[in-house]
Structure 1
Amino acid sequence: MNIRDHLLAALNTLPGVREFHIHVLVTAPAKDNSLYPYASPRPRLYVQDILILLSEQANPDAPRILVAAVEACVYHAPATDCAILYISKIDSTGHGLAPPPTATLVRTFIRWYADPTTRPVAARHFWVQLFARAQGQYLFPNSSEYPGKRPLSDARLCAWWRRVFGQVGGDVCEAIGVEGRVEMYYVLPGHNELEALQVMGSGSLLSNSSPTANPQWLYGHPYSQTNIPLPCPPPEGLHNLGHYIPSFEDDPKNRFMDEIAFTDTPVSPRKRRRTDTSRDNGGDPESRDGEKEKDRKGRPMGELSKVEPDEFWERMSFRQECVAGAVTGFFSMGISVPEACMPSPRPSPLAPQPGQVPRSMNRRILSSLLTGVEFSTPERARKATELIEGTVRGLCEGLAPTLPPPRSKNQSAEATQDLLVPPLPRTPPRRTVGLPPVEDISPNPFDEPEATLETYKAHIYGSITVSNPPLPPKAAVDGTTTEGTSGGGTENKTKIHVLTVRKKKKRPGA
């Protein structure tokens, strides 16, 4: 069973009657050395891009409309036998039926990579990381304008992620048994543990689907622990914060790392004279200059050698991205299993697997989704779904579908009535000038995979018809019953009779 069929099997358990259509795009591994830009030497990593698009049909005669999407990356570090699944963006449109499939889709997707029995990456130590920040839209432009979409608030989003992570951690802990280890970390910058629990509410504590498997939550970061190896450990005797903190795309940690790296502590002239021994020894000036240059290249930039991970996260609480009035959260899960649980022999980390597509295909689909369509109304969502899904199939068939051009600044409002796409929220760009030079990456010995119609039918596209009993109504206070409202549902409430209080008349002369 591949990941597409695994996701469809999980969606088949949702209540109600509807049909799901899914597109799973996983690129072939490519060499990458941008995750740890301040590490010296930079680790050799292999990255895969993942894009999952889920559409829904209420009945066979109804149109298909995109309801959820996931964008993620997998980084593999064979030298340390580690891998990282970074969940970049998750979004929904609100155009589907209740209950929405987003939680089931995300939970099943994370477990597929977290569970070593299904994980397609041969790594003993696996990390899942994400940055939770509430926004009205991420992958579906203008979807926040649709009345049926009800985005979670910042605190509820953190509680949602804690609950999803807890369920996955419980499932994986039960699957690997006592031979493995599962550790879960989370931190809400600017809040201590008690404040974080109060902000998220009691609903976030219901985190595990299995009563027997109960991995403990640790409030904090995973970069000081030694139970599960990190992908890029620093060399022995050398401390460099750049070996601990990865630089994911659209991550607020990046700009803070840049500031630390480019902060130079001035050296007093007296200290410089004491350390300058060029006049005392009679060595070769050229050799001394070469040793200084070698020492300078090996020394961490700025204050990276002075800031510990604990101090980094303490100072992170005062960053603008974390104290701008909204609650944000960093979540991490580490899974480690013994060598006996890994397949033997292990495949090459660069070898393409069946069903993988070229990176250019993922980028083209994502660019079309973010700049060429929008989801503010059901009709526009239907057209957007038809265009995006048609583009995926067209690229697999070797066709060049006609895509709408991105909106330009000079276009009038009338000409762009159907493409009123505001800029999506992003973390401000990091500083790139002055970064350590990137080493040349050798070419991939394997050819880039080719997306064909056979790949489309066997691995990329799939559908399933769900026919289960409907979700029972939830009993509420005052005798009201509320049906699910997420994804365009409605609320049906019984009539409430309000009793008025009669005032007592005053007696004459009182």
Structure 2
Amino acid sequence: MNDENFWTDVLAPYLPALNFPFILHHIATRPQKQALTEDPKKSKKNTQKQLVSTQLSTHFLTLAYAGLHVLALELLVYTNSPSADTNEMEKESLTTIFVSKADSSGYFNSNREDAKLNLGDIVTQILKMFIKTLSRPSTPTRLCLFARAGSQYIFPESGRNKQKHVLSDRDLIKWWIRVTSPLLTLFSELRSARLSVPGAEQAEVKSFLTYDSETKNLLWKEGHIFCPDGDRDIELALRHIPSFPDDPKSRFLDVLVAEGRDGITTVNQFFAELQMRQEFVLGFVAAIIGIEGFVDKKADERTNFACPLVENRVYSKIHDAIVTSDYSTEKLARNATAKFIETLPKSSQHIIRGTQELSKAGSEGGAERKQPVHQINVIGGRLVRKRSKPAQTTTTFEQQQATNAHNGSSESQQTTKSDQTDRGSDYTEASKKMKV
């Protein structure tokens, strides 16, 4: 799988074969030192002098069709490579992929009534490639996300689009379990696959979990992955529970530090108190989802993505191009998509022609598609499923954009057949609207 065709090979089988290609953009920030956990034994005065072995890189991916954004994902990748001088708390090598945000716009339009776009499958494939690509030999890999339903997380005002169907809290959790369950087969040694729903009864948590179709055994267990089960009454929460942006766990960790309880609160005490936090007692149902294990890697498998690396200030500018836009109508969403693309390096673009066959019953025309399209909102992980919009004749603008994209890369447009299988720095104030 060469760099030019990487995302084409991965996603084409899950995208409908339409007249025009899909456009995927992928950028990442240059890795910078960023601690994932803290050591409560170190005073604040000495914290800045601590050696940090963890590197953070933020990845942003968007998928568009006919000049309109369809899906966006922000993933934070933490890579820890300890040395002899590393802090005691960071001794173990670890790769952590955190699904920071995910969102759909609700603007997938096609003049084929049988053209379905299953965003759940697409998210599964993207996460699968992040795990396979970034995993390291003899090093555990974690995938983490926080799921709570909301109307928008990346595309501002897209919740006003009547074609975008926002899932309920419980349906969102079930959606994320369906999306992440296929990832379990990637692990040659699966340490843990856990679901925690703070404040929920055990029976309700179990209702979200899925079973192996052959063995009928549960694929998931109730709980979290952030500390070995037998040590949770002894180990301190601040040492084991990672601090992610816009995550209720992280906000509570900050409270512990402010109250001076960071040096006495154990992992079990932390989660017992977490369920009483405001995010979990006002009628919301939210979930913490985590997977951890070892992934076997072939010697010739890629170890990184061929995407442009940008400085944090450049990433912030690109990010702001979306979070300060308006996706409430198709016209505004089209303008926002074009504005965003203008800020990107050209090397971030991947032109993908879908190879998923359409139903023979489908026909060209303006009939409304009956099948809903699954969509997401991230983790935080909140997810959104979008309903299909009545099909419209493709506009001249759409045709021109798609044609230009088609002419831009002939190699990216190969329509190879492949077997289909089932199938996450600081932000500006403007971005706070959509954080999970």
TM-score, structure 1 length as denominator? 0.61
Q: Distance in 1 between matches of 2:295 and 2:357?
A: 39
Match 1:94 to one of 106, 127, 148: 106
Could you say what secondary structure the match of 2:318 adopts? helix
- Is the 1:38–1:243 contact (alpha carbons within 8 Å) kept by the matching residues of 2? yes
Match 2:266 to one of 308, 320, 332: 308
Inter-CA distance 249–388: structure 2 relative to 1 (3 Å threshold): same
Q: Does 1:261 align with 2:264?
A: no
Inter-CA distance 490–96: structure 2 relative to 1 (3 Å threshold): closer
Deviation string, structure 1 residues 199-235 (Cα, Å, up to 9, x no partner): x4xxx526x6x858988312001233279xxxxx99x
The residue number in structure 2 matching 1:84 is 96
> Structure 1: where are the runs of 5+ without partners?
58-63, 228-232, 264-301, 397-452, 474-480, 492-510
The residue number in structure 2 matching 1:289 is none
Q: Distance in 2 between matches of 1:68 and 1:137?
A: 11
The residue number in structure 2 matching 1:12 is 12
Q: Which amino acid in 2 is paired with 1:321?
A: E
The residue number in structure 2 matching 1:445 is none
Q: Distance in 2 between matches of 1:336 and 1:319?
A: 33
Inter-CA distance 143–330: structure 2 relative to 1 (3 Å threshold): same
Deviation at 1:37, TM superposition (A): 6.9
Q: Distance in 2 between matches of 1:488 and 1:139?
A: 18
The residue number in structure 2 matching 1:52 is 61
The residue number in structure 2 matching 1:369 is 322
The residue number in structure 1 matching 2:342 is 390
Q: Does 1:205 align with 2:210?
A: yes
| Runs of 4 or more above 6 Å deviation | 212-215, 351-354
Inter-CA distance 8–153: structure 2 relative to 1 (3 Å threshold): farther
Q: Does 1:245 align with 2:241?
A: yes
> Structure 2: where are the runs of 5+ without partners?
43-49, 83-91, 110-114, 362-367, 374-385, 391-436
Could you say what secondary structure the match of 2:293 adopts? strand
Q: Distance in 2 between matches of 1:160 and 1:211?
A: 21
Deviation at 1:361, TM superposition (A): 2.5
Inter-CA distance 367–354: structure 2 relative to 1 (3 Å threshold): closer
Q: Distance in 1 between matches of 2:3 and 2:221?
A: 30
- Is the 1:155–1:327 contact (alpha carbons within 8 Å) kept by the matching residues of 2? yes
Q: Does 1:223 align with 2:240?
A: no
Could you say what secondary structure the match of 1:330 adopts? strand
Match 2:352 to one of 443, 464, 467: 464
Deviation string, structure 1 residues 244-293 (Cα, Å, up to 9, x no partner): 11110001112222222233xxxxxxxxxxxxxxxxxxxxxxxxxxxxxx
The residue number in structure 2 matching 1:483 is 370
Q: Distance in 1 between matches of 2:165 and 2:4?
A: 27
Inter-CA distance 149–2: structure 2 relative to 1 (3 Å threshold): farther
Larger Rg: 1
Deviation string, structure 1 residues 449-468 (Cα, Å, up to 9, x no partner): xxxx5xx1xxx211122253
Q: Distance in 2 between matches of 1:309 and 1:225?
A: 10
Inter-CA distance 7–197: structure 2 relative to 1 (3 Å threshold): farther
- Is the 1:36–1:42 contact (alpha carbons within 8 Å) kept by the matching residues of 2? no
Deviation string, structure 1 residues 64-99 (Cα, Å, up to 9, x no partner): 100000011111111121111111000000001553
- Is the 1:56–1:66 contact (alpha carbons within 8 Å) kept by the matching residues of 2? yes
The residue number in structure 2 matching 1:70 is 73
- Is the 1:13–1:466 contact (alpha carbons within 8 Å) kept by the matching residues of 2? yes
Q: Which amino acid in 1 is paired with 2:184?
A: G
Deviation at 1:156, TM superposition (A): 0.5
Q: Which has the higher contact order (CA 8 A, sep 6+)?
A: 2
Deviation at 1:308, TM superposition (A): 1.9
Q: Distance in 2 between matches of 1:100 and 1:39?
A: 50
Show the 5 A alignment for 1:82-481: 82-97=94-109, 99-115=116-132, 118-119=133-134, 124-170=139-185, 172-173=186-187, 176=188, 180-198=189-207, 200=208, 205=210, 216-225=219-228, 239-263=235-259, 302-337=260-295, 355-371=308-324, 373-392=325-344, 396=345, 456=347, 460-470=348-358
Q: Distance in 2 between matches of 1:23 and 1:353?
A: 12
Deviation string, structure 1 residues 128-174 (Cα, Å, up to 9, x no partner): 1111011100000110111110011111110011111111113x03x
For these two proteins, the number of residue pairs brought into alignment is: 348
Show the 5 A alignment for 1:2-41: 5-14=5-14, 15-17=16-18, 19-33=21-35, 35-36=37-38, 38=40, 40=42
Deviation at 1:306, TM superposition (A): 2.7
Q: Distance in 1 between matches of 2:306 and 2:155?
A: 29
- Is the 1:122–1:343 contact (alpha carbons within 8 Å) kept by the matching residues of 2? no
Could you say what secondary structure the match of 2:13 adopts? coil
Q: Which amino acid in 1 is paired with 2:351?
A: S
Could you say what secondary structure the match of 1:321 adopts? helix
Deviation string, structure 1 residues 348-390 (Cα, Å, up to 9, x no partner): xxx997743333322211111101x211111111111111112
